Amino acid sequence: MTPEEILLRDAFLLGIELKLFWLVALLYGISFIIGISYLISSNSGVGKTLTWGLRITLIIHTILIIFRTFEGMRPPFQNLYETLSWFAWFANATYLYAQSRWREVHLPGFIVAGIAMAACLYSLLTRSPVIAPVPPALQSHWYEVHVITAFLSYAVFVVSFSVEVCFLKFKINTEESPGMFGYMDENFRRWTHRLVLFGFPLLTFAVFSGAAWANDAWGRYWSWDPKETWSLITWTVYAMYLHSKTISRWKGPTASVLNILGFICMIMTFIGVNWLVKLLDIPSLHTYAV
């Protein structure tokens, strides 16, 4: 094939992929709107539609990720454009798995749909989808493992956060009859802890594999740059959450606050490090790797 033919083929495939990705973003958006309607109407039929909307989106999103894998001839975890898509997919998949274990609870789906839509739009509007060769510094198995585990953990924390928020707002004190949005009882709440228990070792491994990658690439496993430090803050806050769950007086609201704080730290690590510059008006903030 001549370079021109290769480029035309790439353009054609990328065109299909982008249409599919916009469709996925649109479906997350529709699910989010259905979720808002559910929040307003508290009609369980609308709640079920929200869950079905997310299921259909998951199927199309899975096709998109498989398509991208064939298009690039490699797993799609190499840049932020791809990992944001992966993050949204995994948040949705984790949510749907957890949701299948709940009794008539659909509400956290609207938060997950909103976050997944935001991730897809951020990826589509600010990142380049063009499949480019990987630069030397990123050619490491540690890097791949680091990115995959970090985003897996982030996706799990998204679901934990949405469960926590819904529980705090609409909890019921009895298991006898459902509340406005289903059985948001203590059994439902336990999922926040279970999800963090699952996500925390992944986050630990993400920090560890990132350090191992840095050690191989630059010979320094830890440089205290803001991105690294924020990942350590996130890790520490979730460690505090897990410890608070073992202290009887802190199991309730204190743990909830820490879970929500952990989620905020995660967002800071992910995209918010440079917001801090403007927020505090500090001229020489180090913003490497944002």
Partner 1 sequence: MLYRLLSSLKTSVYILAFMCLIFLIGTIFPQGENIEDYIKAGGKYVAVVRALDFLDIFISPLFLITTAILLLNLVICLFERFKIFLKIKRTPMDFQSLKNHPNRVTFNNADIEKRLKKTGFKLKAEAQSGAPPRVKIYEKGLQYWWLSWCYHVGIILAIFGFFLTALFAFEKDVLLYPEKPETISLYSEDTRWNEFLRDIGVEVSDKQEKNEYVLTLKEFRTEYYQGLKLDYPKEKLERLAIGIGTKKLKPSKKGFSYMPRMWLTSLDVKKPDGNILDAELWVNRPFRTGSLTLYQMGYEQKVNMTANGQRLEVEARVPFEVKGVKGKFVLGSLKLGTLFKRDGTTEEIKPVTTLYHIPESDPQAREVLGEVGLGEKLDARGVLFEFRDYKEGSYLSYRKDPGVRLVGLACLFVFLGLFVRSLGAWYRIQYAAERKIAYVIVSSRGILADKDRIIRKLNK
Chain residues in the site for partner 1 (CB under 8 A): 1-4, 6-8, 10-11, 14-15, 18-19, 21-22, 124-125, 128-130, 132-133, 135-137, 139-140, 194, 197-198, 200-201, 204-205, 208, 211-213, 215-222, 224, 226, 229-230, 232-233, 236-237, 239-240, 243-244, 246-247, 250, 273, 276, 280, 282-286
Taking the complex as a whole, how short is the minimal distance between the CB of residue 96 and partner 1, in angstroms?
Answer: 17
Q: How far is the CB of 87 from partner 1 (least distance, A)?
A: 19
With contact defined as beta carbons under 8 Å apart, do 235 and 204 qualify?
A: yes
Q: How far is the CB of 124 from partner 1 (least distance, A)?
A: 6
* Torsion, CA 224, CA 154, CA 260, CA 110, rounded to 10: 150
Tokens standing for 126? 């600010």
Closer to partner 1 at the Cβ: 50 or 227? Answer: 227
Pick the closer one to partner 1 by CB: 19 or 103: 19
Which is nearer to partner 1, 69 or 229 (by Cβ)? 229
Cα–Cα distance, 215 to 116 (Å, whole number): 33
Query: What is the closest distance, in whole angstroms, from the C-beta atom of residue 78 to partner 1 in the complex?
Result: 13
Choose among 70, 51, 55, 57: nearest CA to 21. 57
Q: CB of 31 within 8 A of CB of 113?
A: yes
Least Cβ distance, residue 45 to partner 1 (angstroms): 29
Residue 4 or 45: the one with the smaller Cβ distance to partner 1 is 4
User: In the bound complex, what is the minimum distance in angstroms from residue 7's beta carbon to partner 1?
Assistant: 4
Sorted by sequence, the CB contacts under 8 Å of residue 197 that are 6+ apart come out as 242
Q: Which residue's CB is nearer to partner 1, number 41 or number 288?
A: 288
Q: Which is nearer to partner 1, 52 or 221 (CB)?
A: 221
